Amino acid sequence: MIPGVTLDHYLLLSSALFSIGLFGVLTRRNAVGVLMGLELMLNAVNLNLVAFNGLLHRSALGGQMLSLFTITIAAAEATVGLALVVSLFRARRSVRVDEADLLKG
Amino acid sequence: MSFITILFYAVSALMIFTAVRTVTAVHVFRSALYLAATLSLVAVQYLLLGAEFVAVVQLLVYVGAVIVLIIFAVMLTAQLGDERISQTNRLALPAALGCGAVFYLMGWALTATDWSKITPAPADPALQGASGNLQAVGLSLLSTYVYPFEIVGLILFTALVGAVLIARKDLEASASTLRPRPEALEGPPKGGEVPQ
């Protein structure tokens, strides 16, 4: 317990982090930048879960467990995403998300 | 204000700063380094919340592995390091307004909610008899949450195999052990036939 810091502080902090990540996803032009914004958003959610666990239900472990699983799935997602970026770069010599229109009819 | 409260505010302010620099930095490599700083500061927040296990996993997986992968991708795709190419699209102002609106809405919703009315979660049996967070989470992972733990390992394995398959140089290369390379053939290759 931190004196003077409530659950609302952590929730506001994580929603700020989420909004910043969303801004990155919307404005970045290259795929790696979009992935970095996505990682920020995932971390905001994890911070939320751990804050609920640590400040609301101290006798349970569900929040920490869920954030551990989220971290693992996020690592898998980053691996596949970056493999796709490398593959896209080989195919088009570009990682711009607005130029990746191979499937456009 | 006690020392730990000041630490919380300092880490939070630094975290917001590095997160903003992550999404606004011109150079992608610098952006990745700012992301590493942000993820480390999130780990500090986990420590402040008493979740030591998650903090260690955060440092190992994110700062140790994901950042290395991102820097790998930045280095492999040469165009990313070029500062002359604009890294952002023209949506910066509408996106900033939209994200500000999202933040305002979420902030309003979560400060208006009375969280103390939530029925408390059942106590985890691993917390009894465990000395500290590390032992409790470790015990719980292999008792209460053993099936999700195994399934997540399977998902990670599948994702790694898929990533290797996607990022391989060319899918034809795997078949080249069975048939000769096209440049070894005389004239244009005819539909992958094996010449005698």
Q: Is residue B120 part of a domain?
A: no
| Residue B176 confidence (pLDDT) | 53
Domain boundary, last residue among B44, B65, B81: B81
- Which residues 19-48 in chain A show a CB within 8 A of chain B? 19-24, 26-30, 32-33, 35-37, 39-40, 43, 46-47
Residue B76's domain spans which residues?
Answer: 1-81
Does B76 lie in the same domain as B1?
Answer: yes
Token pair recorded at residue B39: 């993820």
ipTM for the complex? 0.91
Residues B148-191: tens digit of each pLDDT: 999 999 999 999 999 989 888 765 555 555 555 555 555 555 55
Chain B residue numbers with beta carbons less than 8 Å from the beta carbon of A28 are 23, 87-89
Report pTM.
0.84
Tokens of B132: 């500290």
Mean pLDDT to the nearest integer, B14-24:
94
Predicted pLDDT of residue B100:
94
Which amino acid is located at A46 in the chain?
Answer: N
Contacts of B164 in chain A (CB under 8 A): 83
- B43 lies within 8 A of chain A by CB: no
CATH 3.40.50.800 fits A7-92, yes or no: no
Extents of the domains making up chain A: 7-92
Q: What confidence score (pLDDT) does residue B87 get? A: 63
What is the percent of chain B with per-residue pLDDT over 70, rounded to a whole number? 80
pLDDT at A20: 95
In a domain, B136, yes or no: no
- A45 CB-side CA count, 13 A: 15
Each residue's pLDDT tens digit, A57-72: 888 888 899 999 999 9
CB atoms within 10 A of CB B21: 17
The CATH number linked to B49 is 1.20.120.1200
B160 contact A CB<8A: yes
Answer whether residue B149 is part of any domain.
Answer: yes
Confidence category of residue B2, pLDDT binned at 50, 70, 90? confident
* Residues B56-112: tens digit of each pLDDT: 999 999 999 999 989 988 888 766 556 555 666 777 888 899 999 999 999 999 989
Task: Read off the pLDDT of residues B131-140 as tens digits, 9 standing for 90 and up.
Answer: 888 888 888 8
pLDDT band for position A19 (cuts 50, 70, 90): very high
Q: Does A70 touch chain B (CB under 8 A)?
A: no
Cβ within 8 Å of residue B117, ≥6 positions away: none
Q: Which residue has the higher pLDDT, B74 or B34?
A: B34
CB nearest to A72's CB, from B92, B107, B152 = B152
Residue B15 lies in a domain: yes
For residue A30, list its beta bridge partners: A96
Residue B124 inside a domain? The answer is: no
Residue B183 falls inside a structural domain: no
Residue B129: pLDDT over 90: no
CB < 8 Å to B46, chain A? 47, 50
- Report if residue B109 sits inside a domain: no
